[in-house]
Amino acid sequence: MILYFLQGLTLGLSATVTPGPFQAFLLLQTLRNGWKRTLPATLAPLVSDGPIIFLVLLVLTQTPAWFLSILQIAGGFFVLYLAKGTLASLKTAHLMPQISTEASRPGFFKAVLMNFLSPGPYLFWSVIAGPVVLEGWRRSPFMGLSFMFGFYGALIGGFVVFIILFATASQFGPKVNHNLRLVSALALLIFGLYQLWLGVSSLAG
């Protein structure tokens, strides 16, 4: 059981430090809402991954390859939409002294949608984590669950540390905050275009 827990812990830490659209989205939310109001967004994988795991293990492996391509294209457009909003906010950042407490709610649901539309979790659970969970579950349900606890413990804990460190860096002044917001926007733009390229290339091939 410890072995499966350590596997989940290792993969969770790896997923946290691997740059992706979700990490860029967390940076953006930290800049807009502050680190305290962004922390609930770290729980988004607990909401979005349930359907993803179900689809991967029961449906995705039996569907044609174009299904993932369509998903990549949809996710790419959504990431580009977020990038556009971030770039637009650069012009009005000085007019936004404080975000209301309601901002954390749409931020959380956007985080859920971001993770659900990203092909990364589908690929991860179909290629890497899914087989490990199934193998552990066949031996003992506790082994499968230990992997899940290790993975999500490391993933969410890593995101929390990630947000706090970024928030600390963003407090060095408005110029640094502006530059970090610009980096977040460019990261979202790159990831969105990359997902679109992958989806279109797969359909064309």
Per-run averaged pLDDT (10 residues), the chain, 205 residues: 84 74 82 85 90 77 71 76 75 47 59 81 76 79 90 92 81 66 75 80 78
Rounded distance between C-alpha atoms, residue 165 and residue 25, angstroms: 15
Closest C-alpha to 46, from 109, 112, 126, 105:
112
- How many independent structural domains does the chain possess? 1
φ, ψ dihedrals at 158, nearest 5°: -65, -40
How would you class 75 by CB atoms within 10 Å of its CB: exposed for 0-12, middle for 13-18, buried for 19 or more? buried
Task: Output the pLDDT for position 14.
Answer: 74
The boundaries of the domain holding residue 46 are 2-204
Structure tokens that stand for 19 in this block: 């740059």
Q: What is the pLDDT of residue 4?
A: 84
Sign for the pseudo-dihedral over CA of 111, 185, 82, 201 = negative
pLDDT, position 150: 92
- Cα angle, residue 22 at apex, residues 77 and 36 outer, rounded to 5°: 125
Q: Which residues contact 23 (CB under 8 A, 6 or more apart)?
A: 16, 159, 162
